[in-house]
Amino acid sequence: MRLDLFTLFPEILSGYLGQSILAKAIERKLVEVHLHDFRRWTKDKHQSVDDRPFGGGPGMVIKVEPVVECVEAVCNALPASGRLILLTPQGRRLTQPIVEELAAESSLQLLCGRYEGFDQRVTEILQPDEISIGDYVLGGGEVAAMVLVDAVARLVPGVLGDQRSCVEDSFSQGNRLLEFAQYTRPREYRGYQVPEVLLSGNHEAISKWRREQTLERTRDRRADLLDGSGDSPVEPDRS
């Protein structure tokens, strides 16, 4: 999968992409990432990427020209057309079904905003798919883009050591249950014991215990996932 990320702060992204599972996926060429700084696409000598809003008001607005020209240049040079996404609190909320849909694409272009947002004409001209990661406001789209990249990359075949890890995930492919508790050595720590059944070697009993755990946890913590009420993150999008 190829990812092109557009930002004013490429270092925020390179730091995150340089660690752990994502770094390995990139090294193994399962994921190819390109960072683009749209400040490089400014033409004035001060390299200004933002300006005061017409009509007044607080904050600064990111200018239309560097963004549109940077995204167009990169997209036109792509081997295959991809899917352009703008990270914004005004987008539809990211859920695991959307993550699964994006993981099936061969190429994604992610546009990260800052300040009071982009000039509206960026959206009108580029017509991106607008995605939010939840109902709260971040200082910028970079962290949201990393949330999306992290969630998508782990579904790319080969990125996780054991593909079962993501097939059994909460929220994946209609799974609406939380995961069961996991334990590793030692068997006892400060008087806290590993449940006896997990040490029994009885696979049937272990599966049954895990199924029960899963239901009990979901009932206790996220009853909305079981009855379809409330603020379920896997509910169909109503927008």
Binding residues vs ligand 6GU (CB under 6 A): 87-89, 132-134, 136-138, 140-141, 144
Residue 176 among the catalytic residues: no
Cβ contact 183:195 at 8 Å: yes
Report yes or no: 36 and 74 within 8 Å, Cβ to Cβ. Answer: yes
Nearer to ligand 6GU, 109 or 132 (CB): 132
Which of 189, 187, 182 has its CA nearest to residue 210? 182
Choose the catalytic residue: 2, 83, 93, 154.
154
Minimum Å distance from CB 235 to ligand 6GU?
17
Closest listed residue to residue 236, CA positions, set 84, 131, 98, 87: 98
Candidate list 116, 130, 179, 224, residue with the active-site label: 116
**196 belongs to the catalytic site:** no
Q: What DSSP designation does 30 have? A: S
Q: Give whichever of 53 and 198 is closer to ligand 6GU, judged by the CB atom.
A: 53
Q: CB–CB of 138/97 below 8 Å? A: no
Judged by beta carbon, residue 87 or residue 103, the one nearer ligand 6GU is: 87
169 is catalytic: yes
**In the bound complex, what is the minimum distance in angstroms from residue 150's beta carbon to ligand 6GU?**
14
**What percent of the chain is helix, strand and coil (3-state, nearest 5)?**
40, 20, 40
User: Minimum distance from CB of 114 to ligand 6GU (Å)?
Assistant: 8
Catalytic, 89? Answer yes
Q: What residues act catalytically?
A: 89, 116, 154, 169
